[in-house]
Structure 1
Amino acid sequence: MRYLIKLSLFFAVCFSAVGQSGTLVIESWREDGKIWDEKIIPAFNAKHPGIKVEYRHTIATEYNDQLNGRLADGSAGDIITCRPFDDSLKLFEAGHLVDLTDEDGMENFPSFAQSAWQTDDGASTFCLPLASVIHGFFYNKTIFSELGLKEPNTVEEFFMALEKVKGDGKYVPLAMGTNDKWEAATMGFQNVGPNYWSGEDGRFSIISGEGKLSAPEYVAVFEQLGRWGPYMGEGYQTRGYGDAIEMFGGGKAAVYPAGSWDISAFNSKIDLGVFRPPVANSGDDCFISDHTDIGIGVNAKGSNQEEALIFINWMASEEFAGIFTNALPGFFSLSNHFIDVADPTAKAMIAWRDECDSTIRNSYQILNRGEPSLEMEIWETSVGVINGSMMPADAATRLQTGLEAWYKP
């Protein structure tokens, strides 16, 4: 009898421990706490009611430093939201992230998606790919209808549309500025570029050293950007990101070089349309920047690793992919699952994955570790070409020369 009492007490303690496991804390820089609290965590708890989850937000500009401090003193959360590439790679190499290579569900993510959270040799994956952002062009459907314009498919159709808007004189054809620089690189160079350098093939050729950033395809990217300036309206050189959003959202411009993260900024303001980056010739293969933006990892020294891995496994599911993508229009699950997307603009953009090959921004993996920074060089050259102070061939040569100064394939 005494043995049975002890045994029953033992099982009671064990089951109590499982039922009252410590709270899983998610570390993140994203200001999405309400969505996690109201949609994502309740969906997880419907399947795992015994695991409590808490979302902890840190200001984006302070996230890396604060997270590193908490990891160092042992106070970090169990689940780490991962920035792509080197920031997270450093965490893994320092022993802060669990190797997730063989975890259930990882097979649901394509190689380009996993590359943002892998070692250089691709042998270890340390964060589950969570979401990407897709590049293209937003347009004001009302303005297009008024001027009799259709969504352009080719580069020349694109410039014919801009020319017609400019000729009408009521609207700015292209709502972007060069004051903040990053837009010229991100929504300019990295948006239209993949159609010139053939997406992943071109990206990997630069990493391997077989390709050169001074090659004709990169000169051609800059040649297109060099045609943008005359369509960007008076004073575009001093126009910032927020100014461009206000201009397009206020119905003053026809086209906005876009990242999908801006969908929510315009949905309630204008009749929003979207078209993918134009190709050189009708029928050409197309490529889109489907850029890996957010991953999710497990704290290697967390006290609730078993529960954290249960949560990670669930995040690899079709259920999570659908909830996340619809809760945050413009942030697309990187999984291979079919997702029924509700937002019409987001639905149109994610459908491009069925038409075009996905790639990521070509400066982000490996090639941005030295000086001069390739990413910063793309900022400067893209702005220079759009502003007319730099020739396309000179811009492409500058990128290659800067890379060769420190990078040995």
Structure 2
Amino acid sequence: MQSFRMMRGAALCTLLAATGAQAATLTIESWRVDDKALWETVLIPAFQKKNPGIEVKFAPTAPTEYDSSLTARLAGGTGGDLLACRPFDVSLSLYKRGHLDKLDGRAGMENFPASAKVAWQTDNGKDTFCMPVASVMHGFLYNKKIFQELKLQAPKTEDEFFKVLETVKKSGKYAPLALGTADQWEANQVIFTSIGANYWKGEEGRQALIAGKAKFTDPQFVAAWDYEAKVGSYLSKGASAQTYGDSQNQFALGKAAIYPTGSWDISYFNQDPALEMGAFPPPVRKAGDKCYISDHTDIGMAVNAKSKNKAEAYKFLAWLGSQEFADIYTNKVTGFFSLSNHAITVKDPVARQMIGWRASCASTIRLNAQVLNRGEPSMENELWNVNAQVLNGKLSGKDAARQIQAGFAKWYKPQQ
């Protein structure tokens, strides 16, 4: 009898343990507040269909508060099981402090090319600590109705680009470009890093700066700023006071022919079915030149080193690396493109145009995203200010180059 009770008790404990394991709840931390409904109604149910018994909670934090609040929660031992990763230094810092697991060799990681992993690796490339999820692209949207009215074609070269801008300007009916400099960040992250890649040859130029083999005062970088200055002559009057939101409205209302932007804006403009858009990549310098696009690694996913649900977290991570997730995410979060090797059929026509640039252009990332933001003065802040001044006609290409190079050389030994 005693033996039977012990056996029954052991069986009950085993059952409870199994039930507890099945009832594990994974918490995903992210700054993508706008994706909450998608995770709860589409992504999580898709995962659970293949992994029954694992509960998943998507718990986003406002983008401006995410980095600091996540750091605090991780330090206090209350961070989620899965953590959305910013690219480069923010996530690298968390890894160095022991907050993130090393992911090399984990299921799903084999589906990503080496170029996609760079944003979430140690400087020597030996440790990968976040699974790549998605990138955003930079380029130009254009109003198809305005282009048809003025008999314009999407430009492929710089000469064609400026002829289009000049035609729109002379029409007197529309602004050539929906672009302002009040918020400054667009000047750097949308314009300079986008059009400039064709000058410094994408990764070749970016890596040369990191290695100390090139300087911002070299001709290819100065020429990019000179080009930007020329673009600035086609901004609307009062552009220095025009915000990002103002530019969105200007293009959405059909008051501007071209909108320099990132792919993330596609979904915003899709809210107005009357707005017919097309997209073109940054025009090359002359016909026949190789093209380069800013295909910027934007979001990854890590496993909290102190997660109490590691087995379930890695099951979820493996699913994030699957064809199914890549397909859903790319088509539901329009303008955010999977970084995996999977072949994906993109349904949105403008997003399909943009992702198609990968087939003919070499991908690079924002110029200063890796390593170059680690010192003082802050290169990110400096580039915002300098590029806004160049667009406003207040700073020449040579002076912009001198200012950025001087700040860079103050703290970066390979540039001294």
Query: What band does the TM-score fall into relative to the shorter chain?
Result: over 0.9
Q: Could you tell me how far 1:60 is from its partner in structure 2? A: 1.1
Q: Could you tell me how far 1:376 is from its partner in structure 2? A: 1.6
Partner residue of 1:198 out of 183, 196, 201: 201
Cα separation, 1, equivalents of 2:13 and 2:32 = 42
Matched, 1:97 2:100: yes
Q: Could you tell me how far 1:375 is from its partner in structure 2? A: 1.5
Cα separation, 1, equivalents of 2:322 and 2:30 = 20
Matched, 1:26 2:28: yes
Cα separation, 2, equivalents of 1:341 and 1:331 = 11
Asked if 2 retains the 8 angstrom alpha-carbon contact of 1:237 and 1:387, the reply is yes
The CA deviation string for residues 195-245 of structure 1, in whole angstroms up to 9 with x for no partner, is 111111111111111111111111111111111222111111111101000
Cα separation, 1, equivalents of 2:220 and 2:187 = 18
Cα separation, 1, equivalents of 2:221 and 2:365 = 16
Cα separation, 2, equivalents of 1:287 and 1:304 = 42
Q: What TM-score results when the alignment is normalised by the length of structure 2? A: 0.95
Cα separation, 1, equivalents of 2:256 and 2:327 = 33
Asked if 2 retains the 8 angstrom alpha-carbon contact of 1:112 and 1:360, the reply is no
Q: Could you tell me how far 1:389 is from its partner in structure 2? A: 1.3
Q: What TM-score results when the alignment is normalised by the length of structure 1? A: 0.97
What is residue 403 of structure 2 aligned with on the other side? 398
What is residue 310 of structure 1 aligned with on the other side? 315
Cα separation, 2, equivalents of 1:138 and 1:34 = 27
What is residue 54 of structure 2 aligned with on the other side? 51
Among the aligned pairs, what percent are the same residue? Answer: 51
Q: Could you tell me how far 1:11 is from its partner in structure 2? A: 4.2
What is residue 379 of structure 2 aligned with on the other side? 374
Matched, 1:162 2:148: no
Matched, 1:350 2:345: no
Partner residue of 2:132 out of 129, 132, 138: 129
The CA deviation string for residues 365-384 of structure 1, in whole angstroms up to 9 with x for no partner, is 11101011111221122112
Instruction: Give secondary structure in 2 for the equivalent of 1:290.
Output: strand
What is residue 117 of structure 2 aligned with on the other side? 114
Partner residue of 1:361 out of 361, 366, 371: 366
What is residue 274 of structure 1 aligned with on the other side? 279
- Provide structure 2 residue ranges, at least 5 long, that are not aligned to the other structure: none
Instruction: Give secondary structure in 2 for the equivalent of 1:15.
Output: helix
What is residue 334 of structure 2 aligned with on the other side? 329
The CA deviation string for residues 7-54 of structure 1, in whole angstroms up to 9 with x for no partner, is 644542343233222x10001111111000011001100100111100
The CA deviation string for residues 149-176 of structure 1, in whole angstroms up to 9 with x for no partner, is 0010001100000000001110000110
Instruction: Give secondary structure in 2 for the equivalent of 1:224.
Output: helix
Asked if 2 retains the 8 angstrom alpha-carbon contact of 1:199 and 1:357, the reply is yes
Cα separation, 1, equivalents of 2:36 and 2:291 = 36
Instruction: Give secondary structure in 1 for the equivalent of 2:43.
Output: helix
Asked if 2 retains the 8 angstrom alpha-carbon contact of 1:325 and 1:333, the reply is yes
Instruction: Give secondary structure in 2 for the equivalent of 1:135.
Output: strand
2:397 corresponds to which letter in structure 1? P
Q: Could you tell me how far 1:312 is from its partner in structure 2? A: 0.6
Cα separation, 2, equivalents of 1:401 and 1:220 = 18
Instruction: Give secondary structure in 2 for the equivalent of 1:212.
Output: coil
Q: Could you tell me how far 1:107 is from its partner in structure 2? A: 2.2
Count of residues in correspondence between the two structures? 408
What is residue 86 of structure 1 aligned with on the other side? 89
2:384 corresponds to which letter in structure 1? W
2:360 corresponds to which letter in structure 1? E
Cα separation, 1, equivalents of 2:381 and 2:111 = 33
Partner residue of 1:141 out of 127, 144, 162: 144
